[in-house]
């Protein structure tokens, strides 16, 4: 066999393995990204969707944050203007987690309608720019 | 001042249009005066854009809060270094900064390129002018830093505290230098395509430029990791955030390019591939800026959404179409001069290195874009996070590490069994010894183990090269070992500089592998209470909460929590982590409170303490303790990598005329030898 065809086989092998790594990576780690309204809709049409972990992007309802520092639990509400969900998160919140911040919570929706988050990411609403205060 | 800045931008726009047009026309029609004029626009643009930049800087330093940009990003109590860094801290300023750096590089390319490449220069000037034109247009029409407010606010908004860090003062410019300087080799590539002068001339012209932009990208990325580590307080340095990925993508393709040009120089292969790589690198650099600026993918780095994104999108599409056409029409001129002869050869190992690097960049791009792609195709966004990137990139990265050892030592064309044995016998044996030793010491993590074994393999191959080279000089020239070493490196800078870079890469990998042994714990402690943690190295750490103190400092209010740290019986001292609330000159709080992690670094592991808050205003504090093994290796790896890269591109030491002639004669003799050998065989 010529070297170039051997190389082609090697190249195909690499491409296939990279492709496999990517496909399996997405299958194993891909998470639905939804807004509260989308989550409500999905759960309504397909009850099994509750058991699928999701990431939900929404905004923190101003004044809803309650911190219990002793048990390191934070409860708050998130909304997209259409649907509002109470969220329970245990752990340390990032500095950028404040009223009205854009947050991404990852976790699942419980039967009682609260969202139990395992991770909490907050984007500074201002994205490194101070929002005009006026 | 803003009027002058504004005028300068308009003038820059006109000059850039002129440069783009006359560069092409002058070059195509061979009109010397137009070509000369195009080249001069590079210097003119540098002058004009410097004036515009100086205007912005003056406005910032004078605290002219009537200028919206100054008001948005600074305040009168902001320390001066950060006032200066606010130049590129905000969107419009950073775009002007892009244009400024580009102007510097474009002028330097015209100034420094030897006369023998004059045939390329008008086109190079045209390409750099076009890119400058784009950035100046974005600054003027979409995001203008010279816009004024209808009134003058008494004080500015201030700079985000997370950007008030020395790392943040130098990280963005370094990354920008990397991004922007890709434009220079890219411009040479396009010039070569237009002129159809596709021999290795343009490759020689851009050799140093490629390394320059690669080094700046490397420094920028590493400083970004360092900043994330010391400033963001989450205990890590890389989160596979879209913007981090955006800086990683061109780095990967540039790394591929750096290696594959060697194949083209030596063997006349991979000509099309190299063109595609450099074009891709440039597009990815623009794409990276686009991601950062457009907010299309949510990221902690992205700036507010604005029309800037559309400008970038249009520019990306137009250049993609134009470049595809250019490449397509020139492909017939890019035929390989030789063929791959064996799978066991340097060419093949470099080809695999390229495939892996490009595969890696494709997977990173795919993961970054997946939320958008999945939404387009399936209507629901599916996001992938760090687990995806780690799962895909760790195996590819380790395969690349293995090739780092193999590539430089394996013979060109076809490696004989003797060559393989001579080059790889001791590295393989020693690497296996290292692996066995680590296993005996209790290392069980598979990927980390593989990383250490391959790292050892690469280090031994490099050490072997140095030992053999120095030994040969010592024997042949009777030089002492130190002199032999200096001359060996000094006279083969590219080769030995490259080896030093590879050592740096190994050190990075050791640091990355350390992440497998990270330990983390959260605790709520009253003063006097303590917790213990066991590190991967088997040390027992005892953290005792001392207390919380509160005080004012510069432009902030600080709550500081102190922890007394002991390792085994040894007392390491008190570490203090802070929560800072910044204020403006009226003492009104600005931004969210920022966390200052307490970090005690060591060669083995870092102790990383974050004060997360006090319980109901008492002195009971909530902490996160992290033990991060081997993190410092990453920063050391960066230093070694930069040293190696500087060695490869150190000026002078290039072939003198006489040595070139000798080399030519030698090469001809070699060719004849080979021809004779081939006839005989």
pLDDT digits (tens, 9 = 90+) for B319-332: 999 999 999 999 99
| Whole-number pLDDT of residue A128 | 41
Which of B484, B413, B498, B426 is CA-nearest to residue B460? Answer: B426
Asked whether the predicted pLDDT for residue B638 surpasses 70, the reply is yes
CA distance A77 to B508: 42
Question: Would the CB atoms of A127 and B295 count as touching at under 8 Å?
Answer: yes
Contacts of B158 in chain A (CB under 8 A): 130
pLDDT digits (tens, 9 = 90+) for B475-516: 999 889 999 999 999 999 999 999 999 999 999 999 999 999
CA distance B246 to B233: 22
Cα B653 versus chain centre, distance: 27
Least confident of A36-45, B112-121, B277-286, B462-471: A36-45
Contacts of A94 in chain B (CB under 8 A): 234
Least confident of B13-17, B232-236, B618-622: B232-236
Size of interface A-B (CB pairs under 8 A): 159
| Whole-number pLDDT of residue B319 | 96
Asked whether the predicted pLDDT for residue B95 surpasses 50, the reply is yes
| Whole-number pLDDT of residue B67 | 93
Is residue B54 very low, low, confident or very high in pLDDT (cuts 50, 70, 90)?
very high
Tell me chain B's radius of gyration from C-alpha atoms: 28
Mutate to test the interface with A, among B385, B558, B561, B597 (most CBs of A within 10 A): B385
Calculate how close chain A gets to B592, using CA atoms only, in Å. 6
Question: Would the CB atoms of B384 and A124 count as touching at under 8 Å?
Answer: no
CB B590 within 8 A of CB B583: yes
The answer to whether the complex's ipTM is over 0.85 is no
Calculate how close chain A gets to B266, using CA atoms only, in Å. 18
Cα of first residue to Cα of last residue in chain B, in angstroms, is: 77
Its pTM stands at 0.90
Which residue from B381, B590, B620 is facing A32, i.e. has the nearest CB? B381
Residues B542-547: contacts with CB within 8 Å, 24+ apart? B542/B566, B542/B567, B543/B609, B543/B623, B543/B625, B545/B621, B545/B623, B546/B574, B547/B619
| Whole-number pLDDT of residue B297 | 63
Give the residue on B whose Cα is nearest the Cα of A1: B342
Burial B135-166 (b: 16+ CB within 10 A, else e): bbbbbbebbbbbebeeeeeebbbbbbbbbbbe
Angle between helices B91-112 and B121-141 (to 10 degrees): 170
Give the residue on A whose Cα is nearest the Cα of B399: A14
Question: Would the CB atoms of B592 and A69 count as touching at under 8 Å?
Answer: no
CA distance B615 to B561: 12
Give the residue on B whose Cα is nearest the Cα of A71: B524
Question: Three-state SS across B611-666?
Answer: EEEECCCCCCEEEEEEEEECHHHHHHHHHHHHHHHHHHHCCCCCCCHHHHHHHHHH
Give the residue on A whose Cα is nearest the Cα of B235: A94
Structure-derived torsion over alpha carbons of residues B584, B588, B593, B595, reported in degrees to the nearest 10: 50
Burial A69-106 (b: 16+ CB within 10 A, else e): beebebebbbbbeebbbbbebeebbbbbbbeebbbbbb
Q: Which residue has the tokens 């990032």?
A: A94
Residue B316 burial (10 A CB sphere; 0-12, 13-18, 19+): middle
Give the residue on B whose Cα is nearest the Cα of A20: B392
Compute CA distances B507 → B169, B503, B639, whole Å: 25, 6, 10
Stretch B31-55: mean pLDDT: 95
pLDDT digits (tens, 9 = 90+) for B576-604: 999 888 887 777 777 777 888 999 999 99
CB B319 within 8 A of CB B290: no
Is residue B82 very low, low, confident or very high in pLDDT (cuts 50, 70, 90)?
very high
pLDDT digits (tens, 9 = 90+) for B305-361: 567 888 888 999 999 999 999 999 999 988 888 888 888 889 889 999 999 999 999
Give the residue on B whose Cα is nearest the Cα of A12: B355
| Whole-number pLDDT of residue B309 | 81
| Whole-number pLDDT of residue B672 | 55
Asked whether the predicted pLDDT for residue B665 surpasses 60, the reply is no
Calculate how close chain B gets to A10, using CA atoms only, in Å. 8
Calculate how close chain B gets to A33, using CA atoms only, in Å. 5
CB B595 within 8 A of CB A96: no
CB B184 within 8 A of CB B128: yes
| Whole-number pLDDT of residue B302 | 45
Asked whether the predicted pLDDT for residue B659 surpasses 60, the reply is no
The more confidently predicted of residues A9 and B631 is B631
Calculate how close chain A gets to B301, using CA atoms only, in Å. 7
Q: What sign does the dihedral B55-B61-B66-B67 (CA atoms) show?
A: positive
Stretch B285-291: mean pLDDT: 87
| Whole-number pLDDT of residue B238 | 93
Question: Would the CB atoms of B300 and A32 count as touching at under 8 Å?
Answer: no
> Which run of H or E residues covers position B219?
helix B201-231
Which residue from A7, A28, A97 is facing B343, i.e. has the nearest CB? A7
| Whole-number pLDDT of residue B269 | 87
Q: Which two tokens stand for residue B476?
A: 């042949």
Give the residue on A whose Cα is nearest the Cα of B92: A129
pLDDT digits (tens, 9 = 90+) for B544-585: 999 999 998 877 889 999 999 999 999 999 999 998 888 877
Calculate how close chain A gets to B110, using CA atoms only, in Å. 37
Contacts of B384 in chain A (CB under 8 A): 25-26, 29-31
CA distance B373 to B363: 13
Report DSSP state, residue B226: H
Calculate how close chain B gets to A86, using CA atoms only, in Å. 22
Which residue from A3, A91, A129 is facing B343, i.e. has the nearest CB? A3
Is residue A25 very low, low, confident or very high in pLDDT (cuts 50, 70, 90)?
confident
Is residue B668 very low, low, confident or very high in pLDDT (cuts 50, 70, 90)?
low
Question: Three-state SS across chain A?
Answer: CCHHHHHHHHHHHHHHHHHHHHHHHHHHHCEEEECHHHHHHHHHHCHHHHHCCEEEEEEECCCCCEEECCCCEEEEEEECCCCEEEEEEECCCCCCCCCCCEEEEEEEECCCCCEEEEEEEEECCCCCCCCCCC
Question: Would the CB atoms of B385 and A11 count as touching at under 8 Å?
Answer: no
């Amino acid at each position: 066999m010529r070297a170039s065809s051997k190389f082609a086989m090697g190249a195909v092998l690499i491409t296939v393995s990279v492709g496999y790594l990517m496909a399996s990576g997405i299958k194993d780690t891909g998470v639905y990204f939804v807004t509260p309204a989308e989550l409500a809709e999905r759960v309504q049409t397909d009850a099994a969707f509750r058991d699928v972990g999701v990431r939900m992007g929404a905004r923190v309802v101003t004044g809803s944050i309650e911190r219990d520092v002793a048990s390191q639990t934070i409860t708050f509400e998130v909304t997209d203007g259409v649907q509002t969900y109470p969220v329970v998160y245990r752990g340390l919140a990032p500095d950028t987690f404040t009223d009205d911040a854009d947050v991404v919570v990852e976790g699942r929706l419980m039967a009682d309608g609260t969202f139990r988050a395992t991770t909490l990411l907050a984007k500074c609403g201002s994205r490194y720019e101070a929002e005009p205060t006026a | 001042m803003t009027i002058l800045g504004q005028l300068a931008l308009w003038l820059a726009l006109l000059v850039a249009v002129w440069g783009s047009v006359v560069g092409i026309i002058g070059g195509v029609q061979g009109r010397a005066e137009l070509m000369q004029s195009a080249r001069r626009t590079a210097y003119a643009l540098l002058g004009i854009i410097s004036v515009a930049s100086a205007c912005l800087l003056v406005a910032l330093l004078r605290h002219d809060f009537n200028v919206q940009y100054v008001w948005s990003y600074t305040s009168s109590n902001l320390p001066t270094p950060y006032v200066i860094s606010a130049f590129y801290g905000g969107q419009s300023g950073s775009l002007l900064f892009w244009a400024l750096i580009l102007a510097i590089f474009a002028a330097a390319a015209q100034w420094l390129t030897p006369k023998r490449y004059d045939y390329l220069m008008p086109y190079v000037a045209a390409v750099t002018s076009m890119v400058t034109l784009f950035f100046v247009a974005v600054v003027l029409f979409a995001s203008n830093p010279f816009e004024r407010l209808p009134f003058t606010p008494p004080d500015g908004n201030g700079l985000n505290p997370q950007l008030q860090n020395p790392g943040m003062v130098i990280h963005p410019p370094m990354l920008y230098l990397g991004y922007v300087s890709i434009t220079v080799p890219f411009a040479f590539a396009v010039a070569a395509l237009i002129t159809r002068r596709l021999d290795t001339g343009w490759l020689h012209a851009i050799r140093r430029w490629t390394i320059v932009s690669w080094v700046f990208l490397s420094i920028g990325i590493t400083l970004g990791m360092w900043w994330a580590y010391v400033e963001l307080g989450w205990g890590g340095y890389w989160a596979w955030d879209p913007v981090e990925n955006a800086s990683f993508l061109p780095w990967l393709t540039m790394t591929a390019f750096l290696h594959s040009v060697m194949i083209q120089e030596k063997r006349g292969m991979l000509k099309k591939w190299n063109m595609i790589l450099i074009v891709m690198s440039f597009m990815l650099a623009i794409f990276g800026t686009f991601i950062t600026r457009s907010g299309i993918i949510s990221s902690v780095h992205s700036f507010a959404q604005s029309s800037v994104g559309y400008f970038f999108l249009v520019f990306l599409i137009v250049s993609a179409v134009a470049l595809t056409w250019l490449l397509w029409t020139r492909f017939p001129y890019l035929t390989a001069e030789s063929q791959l002869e064996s799978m066991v050869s340097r060419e093949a190992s470099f080809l695999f290195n390229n495939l892996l690097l490009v595969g890696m960049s494709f997977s990173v791009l795919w993961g970054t874009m997946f939320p958008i792609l999945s939404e387009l195709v399936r209507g629901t966004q599916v996001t992938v996070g760090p687990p995806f990137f780690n799962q895909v990139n760790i195996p590819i990265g380790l395969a690349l590490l293995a090739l780092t050892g193999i590539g430089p030592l394996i013979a060109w064309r076809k490696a004989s069994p003797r060559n393989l044995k001579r080059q790889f016998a001791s590295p393989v044996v020693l690497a296996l010894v290292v692996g066995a030793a680590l296993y005996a010491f209790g290392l069980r993590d598979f990927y980390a183990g593989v990383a250490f074994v391959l790292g050892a393999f690469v280090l031994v191959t490099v050490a072997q090269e140095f030992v053999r080279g120095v030994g040969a000089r010592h024997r042949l020239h009777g030089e002492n070992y130190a002199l032999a070493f200096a001359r060996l490196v000094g006279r083969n800078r590219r080769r030995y500089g490259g080896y030093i870079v590879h050592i740096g890469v190994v050190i990075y990998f050791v640091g990355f592998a350390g992440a497998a042994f990270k330990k983390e714990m959260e605790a709520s402690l009253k003063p006097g209470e303590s917790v213990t943690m066991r590190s991967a190295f088997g040390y027992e750490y005892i953290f005792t909460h001392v207390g919380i103190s509160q005080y004012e400092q510069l432009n902030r209010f600080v709550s500081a929590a102190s922890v007394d740290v002991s390792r085994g019986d040894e007392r390491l001292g008190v570490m203090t982590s802070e929560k800072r609330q910044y204020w403006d000159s009226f003492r009104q709080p600005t931004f969210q409170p920022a966390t200052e992690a307490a970090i005690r670094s060591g060669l083995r592991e870092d102790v990383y303490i974050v004060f997360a808050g006090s319980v109901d205003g008492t002195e009971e504090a909530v902490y996160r303790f992290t033990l991060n093994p081997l993190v410092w290796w990453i920063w050391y790896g960066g230093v070694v990598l930069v040293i190696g890269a500087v060695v490869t591109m150190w000026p002078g030491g290039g072939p003198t005329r006489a040595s070139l002639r000798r080399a030519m004669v030698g090469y001809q003799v070699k060719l004849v030898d080979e021809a004779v050998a081939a006839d005989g065989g």
